[in-house]
Amino acid sequence: MQLACGWRARAVAAVLVVLPLAVRAANLADTVAKIKTGVVAVGTVQPARQPSAQFLATGFVVAQGSHVITNAHGLPDLLDPQGKETLAIFIGRGKQIESRPASKVAIDPVHDLALLKFEGAPLPPLRLGGSKPVREGQEVAFTGFPLGVVLGLFPVTHTGIIAAISPIAIPAGEAAQLDGATLKRLRQEPYEVFQLDATAYPGNSGSPLYEPANGSVIGVINKVFVQQSKEAVLDRPSGISYAIPIRYAQELLKRAGAPGK
């Protein structure tokens, strides 16, 4: 009788362990389905170019569905007006890609963020978090286009945890591109970034970092700018991934008069 009871107790314990994992997996699957509708590719279109579309970064829809947050470093400084090159976002699935003309609304060079406004019907905006503090060790996910759009629009989701919350410093090469006021603010207000226990690629720059259970966006993936800044002293970059806290994107939205959802 005692053996039977012991076996049942172990079986119940095993079920209790498996069930939370299954629930988390189901929650993430539901969350990803919603997140993907608000994740876009960012790039340029030039009719005479082959291919005409050039992928630059990932972005995600915010505000009332007509704006996109992405990384500033991924955008071109200048477009080719003679070649009728335009900034654009790309939506769709697989090879069924639609481009929408877009324009820069605001840039935050310190936090490497850009706000774009695109033409056409609104898209589903993602919900921005920030109401509760991000903690080291919490689970996160991000969705974007790590390999670009050569094979079509196929958003990819990665999961991991917040491995550390650590400060960033701007290296001399980047500092030369900032004006005096920006440099002064950076020195007076150093900010922290999220270090992730997950692998991001250059194409992921601008992807939303979110809570798997509810899709609340807590950061913006930054594969290039932050990594170069934090690892300037290393001969070989570590491949660690980073994200900019979402509060800086919210501040950019407010300054531009396009409050986030």
Query: For the residues of 77-122, what is the DSSP string, one character each?
Result: S---TTTT-EEEEEEEEBTEEEEEEEEEEEEETTTTEEEEEE-SS-
The CATH code that applies to domain 139-255 is 2.40.10.10
Query: For the residues of 22-76, what is the DSSP string, one character each?
Result: HHHHHHHHHHHHHHGGGEEEEEEE-TTSSSSEEEEEEEEEETTTTEEEEEGGGS-
Helix, strand, coil shares of the chain as percentages rounded to 5? 30, 35, 40
Tokens encoding 58: 């990932």
Cβ of 202: how many Cβ atoms within 10 Å? 15
Domain boundaries in the chain? 139-255
The per-residue pLDDT string of the chain (261 residues; one tens digit each, 9 = 90 and over) reads 454 555 555 555 554 454 455 556 668 999 999 999 999 999 999 888 888 888 999 999 999 999 999 999 889 888 888 888 999 999 988 888 899 999 999 999 889 999 999 999 999 999 999 778 999 999 999 999 988 777 788 999 999 999 999 887 655 455 555 556 555 555 656 789 999 998 888 889 999 999 999 999 999 999 767 666 555 444 455 567 899 999 999 999 999 987 655
Distance CA 57, CA 70 (A): 7
Tokens encoding 94: 């697989």
Pairing of strands 86-93, 39-45: antiparallel
Distance CA 163, CA 176 (A): 31
